[in-house]
Homo-oligomer: A and B are copies of this chain.
Amino acid sequence: MSTPLKIAVAGLGTVGAGIVKLINEQGGLLERRCGRSIQVTAVSARDKTKDRGVSLEGLQFFDNAAEMAASADCDVVVELIGGSDGIARETVEAAIAASRHVVTANKALIAHHGTDLAKKAEAAGVTLAYEAAVAGGIPIIKAMREGLAGNEITSIHGILNGTCNYILSRMRDEGLEFDEVLEDAQRLGYAEVDPSFDVDGVDAAHKLAILASLAFGREVDFDAVHIEGIRRISQMDIHFAEELGYRIKLLGIASESEHGVEQRVHPCLVPRAAPIASVEGVFNAVVAEGNFVDTLMMEGRGAGEGPTASAVCADIADIARGINIPAFGIRTNDLKPAATASMDHHKGAYYVRLMVLDRPGIFADVATALRDNDVSMESILQHGRAPGEAVSVVLTLHETEEIRAARVIETISGFDGVLEAPVMIRIESM
């Protein structure tokens, strides 16, 4: 165990530079912890000359990451390029083909090709590790795969996208609308120029699909995730939610039922007293429920140079210590096929906000729509009166099947005096 573990880093963006820095700065500590030294031997990037705040002296340099993965003098390839296909995927496949361990922070890659890559890694006898792909610095993959090894996981949910959580937190704290906060977040670097991956829920869905696979021992099934983003949430919804005792969070939720595995990412009303309701700003949190451990929540920074480098390094340390656990906790042969539960079968409570012309009789029509679909209402809120003008009205529906709630909303949408498509937000009891 006294030979150094040699690392090749593919991609020298913020995180790539961060991991080179971490391994340099923490060299002694890592050697004591792992029983051998860890050494960056090669890096790849498009531009060799760019100043990244770390010295590349003495390192093999490649401008083609896949070539590095295949031919550099290394034991581990760390893939930090990103994207589900293209050069990132080629790099990982080249590394496995050359019998190198792989550490990646690439959630899109694992969400789309995780099962396939795990099979290849298993066949080659190398590790495929991706702690940094989900919830940044939070060691949730290790917790699920090892710390909760004795548990059947019954459900998992979390705040998996810091950008959305930051936007929703600031909307609530400062009374701003979505567009205003998004613009500011882009200015501050908390949101991308094209924010759709984050605000439309795709990034959170990548992470959820990975967690669901781990939790339920099934092949990763990103395409089955039901995804809604946060663009339609307004100040009105935030106020109504507060009044009802809730906060609005974008959650990823996975659970297993008789209908299969339900995977969904969408805005939720969560009770203000639920621990996850207090997770604010760019922080992420994951809550796992196990049949022995009961509830475990982990909260920390979901992105950024330091936290992501911390997670990448944890995977490297495992490899240095000789640990090689199957990528999804069990051998790929034992993974059950994906089994999607349709959202039609989802059972839950609902918040529905309507913009209506304040006219006598509208509530009677709503009541009829509810009765006809066998859905019962928990509360109705309308502030002020403005006969003949538009007012916002909120209904909350008791637990029902999603298909029934959808029919009620569709019926209501068609009423004379209902001015725009209703906003529906699912209420989670947590």
Contact = CB atoms under 8 A, between A and B. Distances in A.
14 contacts: A26-B151, A26-B152, A32-B330, A139-B148, A142-B142, A142-B143, A146-B314, A148-B314, A275-B299, A293-B306, A295-B300, A297-B299, A298-B298, A298-B299
Contacts of A217: 32
Given A275-B278, A294-B137, A149 B34 contact: yes
B137 A313 contact: no
A297 B302 CA distance: 12
Interface of A: 18, 22, 26, 29-30, 32-35, 131, 137-139, 142-143, 146-152, 217, 275, 278-279, 290-301, 304, 306-307, 309-314, 316-318, 321, 323, 325, 329-331, 334
Chain A binding surface, main DSSP class: mixed
Contacts of A313: 149-150, 292
A50 B300 CA distance: 45
Contacts of A323: 321, 323
Given A321-B325, A323-B323, 5 more contacts: A32-B330, A35-B331, A142-B147, A292-B307, A292-B313
**Residue of A146, A296, A301 contacting most chain B CB atoms (<10 Å):** A146
A90 to B, nearest CB: 27
Nearest to A18: B292
Contacts of A299: 275, 296-299
> How often does this chain occur in the complex, in copies?
2
A139 B307 CA distance: 19
Nearest to A308: B292
Given A298-B297, A300-B294, A325-B321, A310 B143 contact: no
A32 B310 contact: no
A34 B306 CA distance: 32
Given A143-B143, A296-B137, A149 B30 contact: yes
B32 A334 contact: yes
